Amino acid sequence: MKDAASPSHWKAFTSRRRDPATKREAVLQTAAQLFLEKSYGRTSLNDVAERLNITKPALYHYFRNKEEILLECYRLGTGLIAEILNDIATHCGTGLEKVEAFIYAYANVMTVNFGRCVMRLDEGDLSSDALVEVRAYKRKIDRRLRSFIQEGIADGSITECDPKIAAFSIAGAVNWICQWYEPEGALSAEEIAAQFARTLTQGLAARGRTRPLTVLSRARKQAGPWHQERSNDR
Amino acid sequence: MKDAASPSHWKAFTSRRRDPATKREAVLQTAAQLFLEKSYGRTSLNDVAERLNITKPALYHYFRNKEEILLECYRLGTGLIAEILNDIATHCGTGLEKVEAFIYAYANVMTVNFGRCVMRLDEGDLSSDALVEVRAYKRKIDRRLRSFIQEGIADGSITECDPKIAAFSIAGAVNWICQWYEPEGALSAEEIAAQFARTLTQGLAARGRTRPLTVLSRARKQAGPWHQERSNDR
DNA sequence: GTTTTTTCTTACCCGTGGGTAAGATATCAG
DNA sequence: CTGATATCTTACCCACGGGTAAGAAAAAAC
């Protein structure tokens, strides 16, 4: 789960050797990057081709049309999320611990190109068929998070609250990351993920209950206690 | 702070009487609505004109170009936010109370068309000049929220935390509302605002300190204790 | 009424960008 | 080396949409 800074995937097209798999992925990587930089609508296929040092029609060898590129970005992103979701569900632990693990992993995904695409790009650019597919994925995510919260309420690790609103709050906070996160920014992905997991779960934790140290909590070694910012924000 | 369901502002153009002010606003209202329905990029000026029962060039009587319409939507939206921001700053109270009031008012703004535009529309559609203007507004909002949190930490109403991360969390959760809120949906604007203010501040409140009943808390009468959803979500 | 000004329409221009046709050039199998 | 196949390019089509020119029609001023 790590992106090179500016991978320059055009290298995949320097040779004309037949290797559709890696070339296809190179297209997706640069497309995703451009979609995030300029939005899908303002990114022309010429832009994508130019960055790969090829011409527009060459792209049509790997994708039927522009929308298929977009949809594939969504699929790769939702795939990443589905992965972490399954990992956590099988993990044993209290509901609160699952929520914490979810936030940590999910926040990390929101700093990876394909992951960012899922929540940052405009669904309206998808065809109606693709839209229902993507929406199904998103609904699944929301359902899972809500079920973790309900579990937590049942086992006493999470304070009484409306699971729907709580899930919306958490999802919103984490989804919003992909709107302001910048790979070269002051805050690293791990930092963000760790702090969000801490801050958001602390709001859910049942009162009077000393928060147990989870695997996550132990793993993260903070640079200092709440380092006051000195970085030029934004 | 209340939008009619589908105001049909085309009535403003039934007569040819000279009344630029209301006609201009009618354009903005329908434009904002369309921008939210289909995004700025996919909304053509013909779409806007059609809904107003006029033709495209007529719009150029009230706006220099398409972008000016967009910018005006942003300005009206940020104006709404600036208003509540000043109200709260002058209000006396603990930092936590200010944060709660902020969330409540801000969440409400996120359910009003112009308010939604500010956080939902793509900044990339703005010219560079307009972009710096809008970004300045947004930064101001973030700064204010962060200062409220810092106040709360100083006066002991908010638990020790990193104000930057906390502000990002809250702003994210509330900003995300404009992504899923639907005027005709199951949750009313007031409900959302009230529940978010409660849920999010409860995460910040200093432990061991009984939360004082704010004006807000008293005003809201809950339908039932955490009504389990029966509504078809989404 | 007549003139002046605002308001709005019909008709058009043209840049942009998705997508295609047809052919050139490299790669690979034999 | 030769033919077959995959790869990529040049040249083009055309729908869409922002924006403009020029003038008609209604309101207001007098």
Q: What is the DSSP string of B137-177?
A: HHHHHHHHHHHHHHHHHHHTSB-S--HHHHHHHHHHHHHTH
Chain B residues within an 8 Å CB radius of A137: none
Nearest-Cα distance to chain A for B76, in Å, is 22
Q: How far apart are CA A40 and CA A152, in angstroms?
A: 39
Write down the residue that tokens 């106040």 correspond to.
B151
The CA–CA distances, whole Å, from A226 to A197, B47, B100, B189 equal 14, 50, 23, 35
Are A157 and A94 contacting, i.e. CB atoms less than 8 angstroms apart? yes
- pLDDT for A6 equals 57
Confirm whether any atom of chain C, the nucleic acid strand, is less than 7 Å from CB of B20.
yes
Tokens linked to A95: 């509901």
- pLDDT for B6 equals 56
Q: How far apart are CA B89 and CA B168, in angstroms?
A: 19
- pLDDT for A162 equals 93
Write down the residue that tokens 């559609």 correspond to.
B125
Nearest CB neighbour to A169, from listed B139, B164, B200: B200
Kind and range of the H or E element at B21? helix B20-38
Render pLDDT for B151-188 as a digit per residue (tens, 0 to 9): 999 999 999 999 999 999 999 999 999 999 999 999 99
Q: Is B62 on the interface with A (CB under 8 A)?
A: no
Question: DSSP string covering A66-132, please?
Answer: HHHHHHHHHHHHHHHHHHHHHHHHHS-S-HHHHHHHHHHHHHHHTTSHHHHHHHHS-GGGS-HHHHH
Residues 6 or more apart from A224 whose CB is under 8 A from it? Answer: none
Q: Is A62 on the interface with B (CB under 8 A)?
A: no
- pLDDT for A219 equals 44
Confirm whether any atom of chain C, the nucleic acid strand, is less than 7 Å from CB of A16.
yes
Residues in chain B predicted with pLDDT less than 50, given as ranges, are: 1-5, 210-211, 213, 215, 217-234
Question: DSSP string covering A6-42, please?
Answer: S--GGGGGSS----HHHHHHHHHHHHHHHHHHH-TTT
Residues in B 93-122 with any Cβ partner in A closer than 8 A: 122
What predicted TM-score, i.e. pTM, was given to this entire model? 0.88
Candidates A35, A36, A131, A165: best to mutate against B (most CBs of B within 10 A) is: A165
CA-closest candidate to residue A9, choices A113, A117, A107, A115: A113
Render pLDDT for A65-118 as a digit per residue (tens, 0 to 9): 999 999 999 999 999 999 999 999 888 799 999 999 999 999 999 999 999 999
- pLDDT for B81 equals 96
Q: How far apart are CA B21 and CA B213, in angstroms?
A: 43
On strand C, nucleotides with any atom < 7 Å from a protein CB are 6-11, 16-22, 26-28
Closest nucleotide over all strands to A58 (CA to C1'): D8
Which chain B residue lies closest to A200 (C-alpha atoms)?
A: B203
Q: Is A160 on the interface with B (CB under 8 A)?
A: yes
The sign of the torsion formed by the CA atoms of A59, A62, A68, A74 equals negative
CB atoms inside a 10 Å sphere around CB A47: 16
Question: 3-state class of B205 per DSSP?
Answer: strand
Write down the residue that tokens 């009313």 correspond to.
B188
Confirm whether any atom of chain C, the nucleic acid strand, is less than 7 Å from CB of B56.
yes
Tokens linked to A98: 């699952």
Residues in chain A predicted with pLDDT less than 50, given as ranges, are: 1-5, 210-211, 213, 215, 217-234
Chain B residues within an 8 Å CB radius of A70: none
Instruction: Determine, for residues B171 and A174 on separate chains, whether the beta-carbon distance falls below 8 Å.
Output: no
- pLDDT for A117 equals 98
Are B109 and B84 contacting, i.e. CB atoms less than 8 angstroms apart? yes
Q: Is A175 on the interface with B (CB under 8 A)?
A: yes
Q: B53-56 long-range CB contacts below 8 Å, 24 or more apart?
A: B53/B10, B53/B13, B53/B14, B54/B13
- pLDDT for B228 equals 44
Q: Is A233 on the interface with B (CB under 8 A)?
A: yes
Are B155 and B94 contacting, i.e. CB atoms less than 8 angstroms apart? yes
Which chain B residue lies closest to A171 (C-alpha atoms)?
A: B173
Residues 6 or more apart from A213 whose CB is under 8 A from it? Answer: none
Tokens linked to A35: 């979609």
Q: Is B61 on the interface with A (CB under 8 A)?
A: no
Instruction: Determine, for residues A203 and B207 on separate chains, whether the beta-carbon distance falls below 8 Å.
Output: no
Q: Is A230 on the interface with B (CB under 8 A)?
A: no
Nearest CB neighbour to B160, from listed A192, A226, A233: A226
